[in-house]
Amino acid sequence: MPDAARRQHGLRVVLRHLYEAGTPRAKRFRYALLVLDILSIGWIVLASFLPLSLLVLTVDVLLGLLLLAEFGFRVAASGVPLRTFLNPLNLADLVAIGSLLLAPLLHGALGFLRVLRTLRLLHSVRLIASLRSDLPFFRRNEEAALAAAQLAVFIFVMTGLVFETQHRTNPGIRNYADALYFTVTSLTTTGYGDVTLPGTTGRLLSVIIMLAGVTLFLRLAQALFRPVRVRFPCPACGLERHEPDAVHCKACGQLLNIPNEGTD
């Protein structure tokens, strides 16, 4: 094998280990990616309060380069790079990264594309789920935690859409705080009426927020008030959800050995 091919193969092996393995080093790496995701979204929110300046544009480009490098590592680590690249969530992430890198040329004209970065949190939710062995609280409340995370992602996405489509023309939407206020009052159907989205596009966006928000709230309520279940695949029939103190599978009667905090 040529040296270049050997080095490329070695890099892919290292990256796949970091993205997929269960070693402490790999888990620390993935937690660092989760922090990067949260910080990048935090910057997108913070930048909405700041005037367009050289400092803001510089941070945009540097953040875009960092996220682009992580995107490249993510694709390289995959056993099917083309499929990974064409994944809708990854394509949305790439568009958001492009809007950061091109910020000096666009002068914020396509800033609304940055909201797509929040979709990356959907991947982060799955990352946390894969690391449930490190988080006893998450393991005990996984369904509710995932439902709450999905609701938070929806609020982030809708807030970003409201802000980016309204802040230039709507005096009631001046920053992310105003957009968040409208989003929350709409999805809770409180609707104070002091902030509205005019036009057909605004009304349709309001309808989406209300309908999808109510659905996600109901899902969160069901997860919170449903009897607690633990995830443990039955070795006989494959049923995954059982009562924490279950001794036998309720579907097939197979003897279970569910780990708990006292036997981990």
- The reported pLDDT for the residue numbered 251 is 81
Domain residue ranges of the chain, discontinuous segments joined by +: 1-139
DSSP codes joined into one string, 39-72: HHHHHHHHHTTSPP-HHHHHHHHHHHHHHHHHHH
* Predicted structure pTM score: 0.66
How much is the pLDDT for 132?
A: 64
User: How far is Cα of residue 124 from the mean position of the Cα atoms in its chain?
Assistant: 5
In sequence order, which residues have a C-beta less than 8 Å from that of residue 187 and are 6 or more positions away? 155, 158, 209, 210, 212, 213, 214, 216, 217
Burial of residue 66 (CB within 10 Å: 0-12, 13-18, 19+) is middle
pLDDT at position 226 is 65
H-helix segments, the chain? 3-20, 24-47, 54-77, 81-86, 88-101, 103-106, 120-130, 136-140, 142-166, 176-187, 199-225
Residues of the chain with pLDDT under 70: 1-5, 107-112, 121-122, 124-133, 135-140, 226-229, 260-264
